[in-house]
């Protein structure tokens, strides 16, 4: 999943750069919307990964006791 998070973050960066270079307002808006979507995807994936790791750690502790 770390690869996916990295990919999503790179896409968000790419959209941010494209938005900064856009000359038309509607282009800039679309790139900023895409950036927000990619960043949300990266954030959500990171959250899911963190929750899964926490659950695994809790299962490990429960199994040790």
Q: What is the pLDDT of residues 9-51, one digit of tens each?
A: 999 999 999 999 999 999 999 999 999 999 999 999 999 999 9
* pTM score of the predicted model: 0.84
Alpha-carbon distance 1 to 61, whole Å? 23
Alpha-carbon distance 43 to 5, whole Å? 8
Q: Cβ(12)–Cβ(35) under 8 Å? A: yes
Q: Where are the alpha helices (DSSP H) in the chain?
A: 2-21, 25-64
At 40-54, the pLDDT tens digits run 999 999 999 999 999
């Amino acid at each position: 999943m770390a690869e996916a998070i990295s990919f999503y973050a790179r896409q968000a960066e790419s959209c941010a750069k494209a938005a900064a270079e856009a000359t038309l307002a509607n282009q800039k808006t679309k790139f900023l919307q895409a950036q927000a979507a990619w960043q949300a995807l990266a954030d959500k994936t990171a959250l899911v990964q963190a929750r899964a790791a926490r659950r695994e750690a809790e299962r490990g502790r429960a199994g040790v006791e």
